[in-house]
Amino acid sequence: MLALHVKEEILIDVKNLTKYYPMKGTFFGKSKDVIKAVDGVSFQVRKGETFSIVGESGCGKSTTGMSLLRLIEPTSGEVVFKNKNVLEMKRNEMLDYRQNIQVIFQDPYSSLNPRHTIKKILSEPFAINTKLSNAQIEDEVINLLRLVGMDVHHLYRYPHEFSGGQRQRIGIARALALNPQLIICDEPVSALDVSIQSQILNLLKSLQKKLRLTYIFISHDLSVVEHISDRVAVMYLGKIVEIGTREQIFNHPQHPYTKALLSSVPVADPKLKKLTQRVHLEGDVPSPKNPPKGCPFYSRCPIRLDSCNQTAPVLKEVSHEHQASCHLI
Amino acid sequence: MVQPLRQETDPNLVSEISNTEIPVKKRVKSAEWAAFKKNPLGMTGLVILVFMLLVAIAAPFIMPHDPLAQDVANRAKGVSGEHWLGTDPLGRDILSRVILGSQTSLFVGFISVAVSTIVGGLLGMVAAYKGGWLDDVLMRILESIMMIPLLLFGLMVLVALGSSMTTLIIVISIGLIPGVARMARGSALEVKEREYIKAAISLGAGNFRVIMQHIFPNILGPLLVISTLHMSSAIRIEASLSFLGVGVQPPTPTWGNMIQEGFTYITSTPGLVLYPGLALLIISIAFNVVGDAIRDAFDPHIKRQRK
């Protein structure tokens, strides 16, 4: 994968993306409060790499992913793909854009229409976007099934006849149908058994090699992220707190939140376990409705100073490609 | 050692591909139908409905007498070999009139339920899927229709515009639309949040495709239930309006106007009211029972209990 980095062609450039959800107003008018689900997120994804976004539930990682496809309409910001801002695209351009970028969902039980056969599910991308004949579509569907390692005799079965892993394979096949460049994997393995997880991850890896795909991999599972990523962004309360290559994040974490996250990963070897220091965080994530004024991590930070509560930190270059947002770096 | 000439597929994947035969489309056994078949009450109701439907379709051929022909010599007679259910005060054969009446009742019921299910279902799905002001406006309008008692509404419209079969069907349809729309909206709101809807949008599917291909098939169960239950409501409303004299006009027999005509003679010739009333009762119960059975068949929790 490193060889591809030399080229460093930027596929998608996210600038200052925000998504604010308005609070439900009262009968007499709209409430002015907003929930800042994603608050000024910027990153670039390079061609051929796996870019992971990690963070605990509710930190805005899925919202960020869905915003790139405009499955959720972001409040402001820019998503630049091939020199065009995706958020300002018209319907025709969107249709074109969506062929280039696809999504694999978390829940394999909700991501396939229970009333459609596998053939119908996999035919849909072609029916919408191409003018292929039925026979040609069937050929394409069969190729897709083989590509993700499924038997062709499943063609006329319904989703409920499959296991979670098989359903996720079908979901992957659907995402691959239009030959996209970028696939957003929204926690693609977190609903699966551990044994199935590695199958799906290996499938994703081999597909990436074969089809030269780029992944944005959204997950809360650090061991999975370590396994698959080239670069990693850590999100907390709607903001990226640290971003860097896999080695930088996992071996030289800078932000106290990243350190705490990494120390929470279970270690199989008890001797090693004694050597690692577990960082315990106090309290809960503050409500995104009412985030801390200064550093978002202030309320839980083990190394905070009083001054941290005054101003919000910005991402600072720690080393080449490695940025973290903490006043103490 | 013979080396393979070239390796086409990832060895990881190859091991899992065993069957390369392309299957033919198989007939799918519906789990819902299987569950429905196990419900004795529902099946009884279905048999009754099928029987009544066949009677209504074959009415012109199986009526023993002309339902409009008056036989002055045999007025208000009881049960006899000639007239199985007796005759009315004008000497018309009651059995023939009940049979022809089923045609009117089922026709009015079927058309108005079809219209209200299609219109109400579409309105509900669009309201749920688009949301926002469109949802608010549509739902407030439908709720205000719902507030007017259907019988009163029908009475006013039919008196004002005059009775005709078309007006009758339109009035009943309008009365049934809000119920269907609310139900469709509720179910669609739930389906809308599933990830396959997002997947379809990200594949480029438009509103029409999402609604027809992805939402509609998944709310079919509840739609089927409510339209079955509405069949019985529609038939009862038609009978009520005809009983009040604003529905289907004599001499065309319907169960409603037969009861109304026979009402004066209820003490001397009770059969005049009894037989059409009984037919009404049976068909109402049958539709309700079938509707309940369909609901049970579509309910995954109940299905699991039975297994």
Tell me what ipTM this predicted complex has: 0.84
Q: Looking at the complex, does the CB of residue B21 fall below 8 Å from at least one CB of chain A? A: yes
Residue B3: band (very low, low, confident or very high) from pLDDT cuts 50, 70, 90: very low
Question: What's A2-24+33-324's CATH class?
Answer: alpha beta
Residue B14 has pLDDT above 60, yes or no: no
Give chain B positions within 8 Å (CB) of A111: 194-196, 199
The C-alpha atoms of residue A252 and residue A80 are separated, in whole angstroms, by 30
Question: With an 8 Å Cβ cutoff, are A110 and B194 in contact?
Answer: yes
**Spatial CB neighbours of B69, under 8 Å, sequence gap ≥ 6:** B92, B93
Distances (CA, A) of B95 to B24, B280, B286: 51, 14, 20
Question: With an 8 Å Cβ cutoff, are B202 and A142 in contact?
Answer: no
Number of domains in chain B: 1
Residues B17-37 have a mean pLDDT of 65
HEC sequence for A115-153: CCCHHHHHHHHHHHHCCCCHHHHHHHHHHHHHHCCCCHH
Residue of chain A minimizing CA distance to B19: A151
What does the pLDDT read at residue A167? 92
What does the pLDDT read at residue A125? 92
Q: Return the domain boundaries, chain A.
A: 2-24+33-324
Give chain A positions within 8 Å (CB) of B196: 110-113
Residue B2: band (very low, low, confident or very high) from pLDDT cuts 50, 70, 90: very low
Residues A282-301 have a mean pLDDT of 79
- State how far residue B14 is from chain A, nearest Cα, in angstroms: 7
Q: What is the mean pLDDT of chain A?
A: 86
Question: Do the domain assignments include residue B110?
Answer: yes
What does the pLDDT read at residue B274? 87
Tokens representing A122 are 């996999």
- State how far residue B290 is from chain A, nearest Cα, in angstroms: 23
Tokens representing A329 are 């770096």
What does the pLDDT read at residue A31? 66
Cα R_g (chain A), whole angstroms: 21
Residue B305 has pLDDT above 70, yes or no: no
Point out the residue among B10, B19, B196 whose CB comes nearest to the CB of A206. Answer: B10
Mean pLDDT is lowest, of A32-46, B75-89, B171-185, B263-277, for: B75-89
Q: Looking at the complex, does the CB of residue B144 fall below 8 Å from at least one CB of chain A? A: no
Tokens representing B65 are 């007498």
- Does residue B201 contact residue B210 with C-beta atoms inside 8 Å? yes
What does the pLDDT read at residue B301? 60
Residue B28 has pLDDT above 60, yes or no: no
Mean pLDDT is lowest, of A220-224, B192-196, B245-249, for: B245-249
The C-alpha atoms of residue A58 and residue B187 are separated, in whole angstroms, by 27
Helix H segments across chain A?
Answer: 2-5, 61-68, 91-100, 118-129, 134-147, 164-176, 194-211, 222-228, 246-251, 256-263, 270-275
Q: What is the mean pLDDT of chain B?
A: 83
Name the residue among B7, B204, B48, B298 with its Cα closest to residue A89: B204
Residue B5 has pLDDT above 80, yes or no: no
Q: What is the CATH number for B189?
A: 1.10.3720.10
pLDDT tens for each residue of A138-171? 999 999 999 998 888 888 888 888 888 999 999 9
pLDDT tens for each residue of B281-291? 999 999 999 99
Residue A126 has pLDDT above 80, yes or no: yes
Name the residue among A300, A120, A67, A177 with its Cα closest to residue B217: A120
Q: What percent of chain B has pLDDT over 70?
A: 86
Tokens representing A240 are 């990226």
pLDDT tens for each residue of B199-221? 999 888 889 999 999 999 999 88
Question: With an 8 Å Cβ cutoff, are B22 and A110 in contact?
Answer: no
Point out the residue among A98, A107, A203 whose CB comes nearest to the CB of B195. Answer: A107
- Does residue B76 contact residue B32 with C-beta atoms inside 8 Å? no
Give chain B positions within 8 Å (CB) of A203: 12-13
- State how far residue A194 is from chain B, nearest Cα, in angstroms: 18
What does the pLDDT read at residue B121? 95
Question: With an 8 Å Cβ cutoff, are B196 and A112 in contact?
Answer: yes
Residue of chain B minimizing CA distance to A101: B202
Question: Do the domain assignments include residue B234?
Answer: yes
What 3-state class would DSSP assign to A218?
Answer: strand
Question: Do the domain assignments include residue B212?
Answer: yes
- State how far residue B115 is from chain A, nearest Cα, in angstroms: 24
Question: With an 8 Å Cβ cutoff, are B198 and A171 in contact?
Answer: no
The C-alpha atoms of residue B102 and residue A196 are separated, in whole angstroms, by 59
Question: With an 8 Å Cβ cutoff, are B218 and A103 in contact?
Answer: no
What does the pLDDT read at residue B176? 93
- State how far residue B214 is from chain A, nearest Cα, in angstroms: 7
Q: Looking at the complex, does the CB of residue B8 fall below 8 Å from at least one CB of chain A? A: no
Residue B126 has pLDDT above 70, yes or no: yes
Residue B102 has pLDDT above 50, yes or no: yes
Q: Looking at the complex, does the CB of residue B7 fall below 8 Å from at least one CB of chain A? A: no
What does the pLDDT read at residue A175? 93
Residues A69-73 have a mean pLDDT of 87
Residues B222-250 have a mean pLDDT of 89
Question: With an 8 Å Cβ cutoff, are A128 and B18 in contact?
Answer: no
Side-chain half-sphere of A111: how many Cα atoms within 13 Å?
28
- Note down the domain range covering B298: 45-51+95-306
What does the pLDDT read at residue B136? 92
What does the pLDDT read at residue B20? 53
Name the residue among A193, A187, A194, A229 with its Cα closest to residue A208: A229
Residue A52: band (very low, low, confident or very high) from pLDDT cuts 50, 70, 90: very high
Q: Looking at the complex, does the CB of residue B13 fall below 8 Å from at least one CB of chain A? A: yes
Question: Do the domain assignments include residue B153?
Answer: yes
- State how far residue B10 is from chain A, nearest Cα, in angstroms: 8
Q: What percent of chain A has pLDDT over 70?
A: 93
Mean pLDDT is lowest, of B28-32, B206-210, B225-229, B259-263, for: B28-32
Question: Do the domain assignments include residue B298?
Answer: yes
Task: Output the CA angle A229-A233-A238, nearest 5 degrees.
Answer: 140
What totals of helices (H) and strands (E) does chain B contain, helices first?
14, 0
The C-alpha atoms of residue B83 and residue B154 are separated, in whole angstroms, by 35
Intra-chain end-to-end CA distance of chain A, in Å = 30
What does the pLDDT read at residue A26? 64
Give chain B positions within 8 Å (CB) of A148: 13
Which stretch of DSSP H or E encloses residue A42? strand A34-46
Residue B77 has pLDDT above 80, yes or no: no
Residue A36: band (very low, low, confident or very high) from pLDDT cuts 50, 70, 90: confident
Name the residue among A198, A141, A194, A199 with its Cα closest to residue A170: A141
